[in-house]
Amino acid sequence: MAEPHSVYTPTKRTIPARKPERLSYDVAAVNAVLDEALVCHVAYQVDGIPAMIPTLHVRIGDQLYIHGSTGSRLMRAASENGIPLCIGVTLTDGLVMARTWFNHSVNFRSVIIHGDAVVVTDKDEKWDAMVALMDHVAQGRAEGSRSANKREFAATAMLRIPLVEVSLKVRSGPPGDDEEDLELPHWAGVLPMETVFGDPIPACDLPVPTYIAEHQRSKRLSEVGD
Amino acid sequence: MAEPHSVYTPTKRTIPARKPERLSYDVAAVNAVLDEALVCHVAYQVDGIPAMIPTLHVRIGDQLYIHGSTGSRLMRAASENGIPLCIGVTLTDGLVMARTWFNHSVNFRSVIIHGDAVVVTDKDEKWDAMVALMDHVAQGRAEGSRSANKREFAATAMLRIPLVEVSLKVRSGPPGDDEEDLELPHWAGVLPMETVFGDPIPACDLPVPTYIAEHQRSKRLSEVGD
């Protein structure tokens, strides 16, 4: 699917109250975060009660899909007329240790999405989203496990949110201490953070598939290990 | 501060719609997640518009503190009469690869907090929360950097949310394939995930403090490294 635009149009909800230099509407940069992250936080309201759930997501072109059980609160609420959602996807890249408390920060990339989600009713679209979600968890896994049967397919709900009202906030680089603090006798720098995978814990006697072993290695911190 | 109770009382907002076996109201288990995680997602509404931000948090006893700029949308909205928040804190521990798509899952620990947040106005309480937040990022860092001066103290806002309406959802262990799927020719197991710290990237010539080097090591995956 071709990208319909390369920059999101800012809206009242995606214009920042402060630090505009950290904000981006770049579609490619947003996609990179959505594709790297596995988990998102979804905020919604049911009967006037604010709620939030963490869940898995996957992007296909300019649509985000999140899956869940047809019995979940979110899916039941969405199945009537759709539901407005606010979704946050955050990757933390490092702890920023400044010479002063005040200038401490975190290096991060965070996407916030606003939009009305609808339950996917087209069966082909739903199937494609399920395949994409499996392969988002580990590329090759859709082929590498038994696909959904009729009952399982029916018990799985998939929500679609158009990627239209989207913003990305990024902080990177060294601490930003003020000039007059640079001579303070305190260590300053960044402690990089990354999510890595450990050795697979098998639940069967079959050999670990190549795509899982590779997936594991691709996420190992280059700095880790002696 | 002593724990006022060891189990949270379930409410309409914290009773799960499904999978009750994954839900816990255990205060100690909740605290462990809040203390391990650095970043939370905060959902709120301003002028009827749902919003979400990722930010740092710290727990002191049975209160959660989140910090921000006095100029941020959230802090400005909260400074009037407090503000109802929904906060999510999620740690992902592993990818659960089942023999079937349907039984794939994620091992995770996720805390959801509902509550009315107020801006901390007591200066001692605010100072203590700032110290705790610094030391939550890296134990020893409050002492290891210059504390807030008057201007910086005034520019920092701290919100307090009582830990009263709280739930924890946990999934752990191997995949839960159905009996009839156990003989399928697909690898099944868990790919453990962990957040680790890399080598510090200095922004000064001072030696890396012991508490930062130790912090780094304590978060290294034992399985990583050859």
Per residue in A170-210, pLDDT (tens digit) is 999 999 999 999 999 999 999 999 999 999 999 999 999 99
In chain A, at which residue ranges do the beta strands (DSSP E only) sit? 23-24, 39-46, 49-60, 63-69, 83-97, 105-119, 156-162, 165-171, 189-197, 201-202
Mean pLDDT of B96-124: 96
Q: What is the pLDDT of residue B226?
A: 32
| Dist CA B194 CA B188 (whole Å) | 20
Q: What is the pLDDT of residue B223?
A: 36
Which of A101, A112, A128, A222 would you mutate first to test chain B, the one with the most B CBs within 10 A? A101
CA angle A98, A99, A101 (to 5 degrees): 75
Chain A residues whose beta carbon lies within 8 Å of the beta carbon of residue B76? 17
Domains along the sequence of chain B with CATH: 20-175 (2.30.110.10), 194-226 (no CATH)
ipTM, interface predicted TM-score of the complex: 0.91
Phi-psi region of A16 (alpha: psi -120 to 50; beta: other; left: phi over 0): beta
Q: What is the pLDDT of residue A220?
A: 47
8 Å CB contact of B101 and A190: no
| Dist CA A158 CA A119 (whole Å) | 6
Is-contact A68 A83, C-beta < 8 A? Answer: no
- Which tens digits make up the pLDDT trace of A27-65? 999 999 999 999 999 999 877 777 899 999 999 999 999
- Which tens digits make up the pLDDT trace of A55-113? 999 999 999 999 988 888 888 889 888 999 999 999 999 999 999 999 999 999 999 99
8 Å CB contact of A141 and B69: no
Q: What is the pLDDT of residue A157?
A: 94
Q: What is the pLDDT of residue B220?
A: 47
Mean pLDDT of A107-122: 96
8 Å CB contact of A144 and B86: no
**pTM reported for the whole predicted model:** 0.92
Which residue of chain B comes nearest to A90, CA vs CA?
B54
8 Å CB contact of A197 and B197: no
| Dist CA A171 CA A156 (whole Å) | 36
